């Protein structure tokens, strides 16, 4: 066992033990150089007959996590294998598991559970959207950490696997009885995204009822049997998630997330009202068909059919990611079918960012979204203001970080209007405060950087570098909801290191401390070591940053003597 106070690998100081199992111990440690806390999981060889098996499993888990970047996933920053012990250095999560919260507080309010479920949908959607989809397979309250800020973290990827098209079934059956879907135990093909939907449904059931599905009575009842005040709409969603046949469940996380956001629409009273309205509507349609020309009637039917194809068009776009231009045009086709729905807008952004380059052709397609006759963005903004703000933020980052054909100040100027639109949407939303602050910081950073040269000449630049540094620090901070975009993070890191080399002397004169600059460089260096495998473009930027880190530290030493 590691001793309190010892230094591991020359940089991690062990502070105390925070968890203990039969074959492993988890410690709280600190990297004093970077002033950052980490959790270190120690797997011991001594008296552990399963050490080699556990070690191989952990290597697979760490290799998988190192490729993933999402605010709801812990980062693996270091793996230390000294033969006798296997140490994993990961994010320290300050919070409690949802299992412990239910044990202490009982069944949770449905509003909270829906909020947590939507956060879990976000991270599952990220996992399922990987080039090789990652199936988590072990969703349960004990594997979900609730942090003090209300956000959740999904832990323990020991049961996760990558989906393989060629496989007829999983090679091993993993999961937790009670939460695991039937296909996880053989006989129903390999696990896929619908498996995680089943596990999430059972998890919601446990959180809402405080009845553990892996404990007596070993049977799932409708949630309103336990708590009659719960929404019967939410009950229908959970029942659909947990169908034994995967074909009868929601077929994607997007479908489930949409249902959860609108769960009151599935309630019996709402359904009855909608049925009555539909009867009235259909009567009106029939009367209109009788009175209108046949051509008009066919036109209405055609539009209804197009709307029903929205999901199919998006799936086709997803299947054409290798041909980005075709996939993006399919996204525009989906937007034309249903301009108020968010999925196609976000899909367009993801496609534009795939190859690290926002091209002139892609910009032309983007501008075509808001045609003079369609006004799709205007319709989107009115129906889904927060999703619209997220899209504006995404496009702002495209212009700022991905636009080589314009480049420089032109691309940053193009980004500003998108950031301004995003900030207006985020302004009153506490859950988007990080994104709101970052939008303002981008805008202010741009304004300061354009004025610095003139202010230096005029001699009125006192105080501006402190403000500039504060803006850079905010831009560096991760968003509160979005997956960490490695390319954007690297681009921000590269800019900060370059600015330190360029302005270290000015920062010194404006009361930016040496410790602040050094801490930032330490964070960036730790970040680089924790990214794992990068693609060619990302690696190119990372190599440039590493080359400049030494120069930046040398410049600080010179300017702060």
In this structure, the answer to whether residues 119 and 57 fall within a common structural domain is: no
Segment 531-558, tens digit of pLDDT: 878 888 888 889 999 989 999 999 999 9
In this structure, the answer to whether residues 200 and 142 fall within a common structural domain is: yes
What is the spatial distance between Cα 27 and Cα 12, in angstroms, rounded to a whole number?
11
CATH number of the domain bearing residue 251: 1.10.510.10
Q: By three-state DSSP, how is residue 170 classified?
A: coil
Average confidence score pLDDT of the chain: 80
What is the spatial distance between Cα 317 and Cα 111, in angstroms, rounded to a whole number?
34
The mean pLDDT value for 43-69 works out to 67
Task: Report phi then psi at 135, rounded to 5.
Answer: -100, 120
In this structure, the answer to whether residues 139 and 192 fall within a common structural domain is: yes
Segment 335-361, tens digit of pLDDT: 888 888 889 898 888 888 887 778 777
What is the spatial distance between Cα 116 and Cα 495, in angstroms, rounded to a whole number?
35
pLDDT of 300 strictly over 50 = no
User: Could you tell me which of 328, 390, 317, 322 has the C-alpha nearest to residue 358?
Assistant: 328
- CB environment 157-177: b (16+ within 10 A), e (fewer): bebbbebeeeeeebeeebbbe
How many CB atoms are closer than 10 A to CB 518? 19
Segment 314-326, tens digit of pLDDT: 888 887 777 888 8
What is the spatial distance between Cα 48 and Cα 131, in angstroms, rounded to a whole number?
36
Distance of CA 16 to the CA centre of its chain: 31
In this structure, the answer to whether residues 38 and 131 fall within a common structural domain is: no
Cβ–Cβ under 8 Å, residues 9 and 78: yes
Which of 63, 91, 119 is a domain's end point? 91
In this structure, the answer to whether residues 469 and 555 fall within a common structural domain is: yes
What is the spatial distance between Cα 215 and Cα 177, in angstroms, rounded to a whole number?
9
Residue 291 lies inside a defined structural domain of this protein: no
What is the spatial distance between Cα 403 and Cα 400, in angstroms, rounded to a whole number?
7
What is the spatial distance between Cα 135 and Cα 174, in angstroms, rounded to a whole number?
11
Segment 12-24, tens digit of pLDDT: 899 998 877 656 7
Residue 461 lies inside a defined structural domain of this protein: yes
Q: By three-state DSSP, how is residue 400 classified?
A: helix
In this structure, the answer to whether residues 83 and 124 fall within a common structural domain is: no
Residue 331 lies inside a defined structural domain of this protein: no
pLDDT of 297 strictly over 80 = no
> Biggest alpha carbon distance in the chain?
88
Cβ–Cβ under 8 Å, residues 381 and 345: no
At 52 the pLDDT is 67
Task: Report phi then psi at 556, rounded to 5.
Answer: -60, -45
In this structure, the answer to whether residues 63 and 131 fall within a common structural domain is: no
What is the spatial distance between Cα 339 and Cα 346, in angstroms, rounded to a whole number?
12
Residue 283 lies inside a defined structural domain of this protein: no
Task: Report phi then psi at 20, rounded to 5.
Answer: -150, 130
What is the spatial distance between Cα 26 and Cα 39, in angstroms, rounded to a whole number?
7
Segment 411-447, tens digit of pLDDT: 787 788 889 989 988 888 888 888 889 999 998 988 8
The CA angle 109-245-181, to the nearest 5 degrees, is 55
42 Cβ neighbours under 8 A, 6+ residues apart = 1, 2, 24, 25, 26, 27, 85, 86, 87
In this structure, the answer to whether residues 353 and 238 fall within a common structural domain is: no
Counted domains in the chain: 3
Cβ–Cβ under 8 Å, residues 140 and 171: no
Cβ–Cβ under 8 Å, residues 348 and 328: yes
In this structure, the answer to whether residues 109 and 163 fall within a common structural domain is: yes
Residue 62 lies inside a defined structural domain of this protein: yes
Segment 88-119, tens digit of pLDDT: 888 888 888 999 999 999 999 999 999 999 99
Higher pLDDT, 84 or 392: 392
Q: Half-sphere exposure of 341 toward its Cβ, with a 13 Å CA cutoff?
A: 20
The DSSP element (H or E) to which 403 belongs, if any, is none
How many CB atoms are closer than 10 A to CB 126? 19
- CB environment 456-483: b (16+ within 10 A), e (fewer): eeeeebeebbeebbebbebbbeebbbbb
Burial class, 499, CB count within 10 angstroms (exposed 0-12 / middle 13-18 / buried 19+): buried
CATH number of the domain bearing residue 14: 3.30.200.20
What band does 173 get if pLDDT is binned at 50, 70 and 90?
Answer: very low
At 321 the pLDDT is 74
Residue 120 vs residues 124, 146, 173: alpha-carbon distances, Å: 6, 11, 23
What is the spatial distance between Cα 495 and Cα 501, in angstroms, rounded to a whole number?
10
In this structure, the answer to whether residues 370 and 505 fall within a common structural domain is: yes
In this structure, the answer to whether residues 26 and 45 fall within a common structural domain is: yes
What is the spatial distance between Cα 414 and Cα 434, in angstroms, rounded to a whole number?
22
DSSP H helical segments within 155-242, as ranges? 193-209, 223-226, 232-241
What is the spatial distance between Cα 130 and Cα 525, in angstroms, rounded to a whole number?
26
Which of 206, 241, 266 is a domain's end point? 266
At 473 the pLDDT is 92
Cis peptide preceding 217, ω within 30 of 0? yes
What is the spatial distance between Cα 39 and Cα 12, in angstroms, rounded to a whole number?
10
At 20 the pLDDT is 72
Residue 216 lies inside a defined structural domain of this protein: yes
Residue 309 lies inside a defined structural domain of this protein: no
In this structure, the answer to whether residues 45 and 117 fall within a common structural domain is: no
Which of 266, 289, 316 is a domain's end point? 266
Note down the domain range covering 413. Answer: 337-559
Residue 236 lies inside a defined structural domain of this protein: yes
Segment 240-250, tens digit of pLDDT: 999 988 989 99
Q: Half-sphere exposure of 513 toward its Cβ, with a 13 Å CA cutoff?
A: 3
């Amino acid at each position: 066992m590691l001793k309190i106070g010892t230094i591991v690998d020359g940089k991690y100081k062990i502070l105390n033990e925070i968890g203990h199992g039969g074959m492993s111990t988890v410690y709280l440690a600190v990297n004093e150089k970077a002033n950052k806390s980490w959790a270190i999981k120690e797997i011991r060889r001594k008296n552990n007959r399963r050490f080699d098996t556990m070690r191989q499993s952990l290597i697979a888990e760490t290799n998988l996590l190192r490729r993933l970047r999402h605010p709801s996933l812990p980062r693996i920053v270091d793996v230390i294998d000294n033969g006798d012990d296997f140490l994993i250095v990961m994010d320290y999560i300050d919070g409690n598991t949802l299992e412990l919260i239910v044990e202490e507080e009982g069944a949770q309010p449905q509003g909270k559970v829906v909020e947590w479920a939507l956060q879990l949908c976000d991270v599952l959607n990220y996992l399922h959207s990987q080039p090789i989809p990652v199936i988590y397979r072990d969703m349960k309250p004990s594997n979900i950490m609730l942090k003090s800020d209300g956000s959740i973290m999904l832990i323990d990827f020991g049961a996760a696997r990558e989906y393989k098209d060629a496989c007829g079934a999983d090679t091993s059956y993993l999961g937790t009885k009670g939460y695991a879907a039937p296909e996880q135990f053989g006989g129903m093909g390999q696990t896929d995204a619908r498996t995680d939907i089943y596990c999430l449904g059972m998890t919601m059931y446990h959180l809402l009822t405080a009845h553990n599905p892996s404990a007596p009575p070993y049977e799932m009842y409708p949630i309103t049997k336990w708590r009659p005040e719960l929404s019967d709409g939410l009950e229908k969603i959970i029942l659909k998630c947990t169908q034994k046949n995967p074909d009868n469940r929601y077929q994607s996380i997007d479908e489930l997330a949409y249902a959860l956001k609108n769960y009151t629409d599935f309630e019996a009273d709402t359904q009855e009202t909608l049925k009555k309205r539909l009867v009235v509507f259909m009567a009106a349609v029939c009367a209109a068909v009788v009175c209108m020309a046949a051509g008009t009637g066919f036109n209405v039917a055609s539009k209804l059919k197009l709307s029903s194809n929205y999901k199919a068009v998006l799936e086709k776009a997803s299947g054409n990611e290798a041909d980005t231009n075709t996939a993006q045009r399919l996204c525009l086709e989906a937007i034309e079918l249903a301009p108020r729905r968010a999925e196609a807008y976000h899909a367009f952004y993801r496609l534009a960012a795939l190859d690290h380059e926002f091209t002139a052709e892609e910009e032309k397609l983007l501008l075509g979204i808001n045609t003079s006759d369609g006004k799709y963005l205007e319709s989107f903004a009115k129906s889904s203001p927060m999703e619209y703000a997220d899209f504006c933020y995404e496009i702002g980052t495209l212009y700022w970080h991905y636009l080589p054909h314009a480049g420089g100040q032109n691309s940053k100027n193009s980004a500003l209007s998108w950031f301004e639109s995003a900030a207006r949407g985020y302004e009153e939303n506490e859950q988007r405060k990080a994104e709101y602050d970052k939008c303002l910081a981008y805008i202010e950073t741009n304004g300061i950087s354009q004025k610095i040269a003139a202010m230096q000449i005029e001699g009125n630049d006192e105080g501006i570098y402190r403000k500039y540094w504060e803006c850079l620090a905010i831009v560096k901070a991760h968003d509160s909801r979005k997956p960490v975009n490695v390319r954007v993070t690297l681009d921000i890191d590269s800019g900060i290191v370059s600015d330190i080399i360029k302005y270290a002397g000015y920062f010194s004169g404006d009361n930016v401390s040496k410790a602040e600059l050094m801490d930032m460089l330490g964070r960036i260096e730790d970040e680089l070591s924790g990214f794992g495998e990068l693609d060619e473009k990302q690696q190119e930027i990372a190599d440039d940053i590493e080359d400049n880190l030494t120069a930046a530290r040398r410049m600080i030493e010179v300017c702060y003597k």
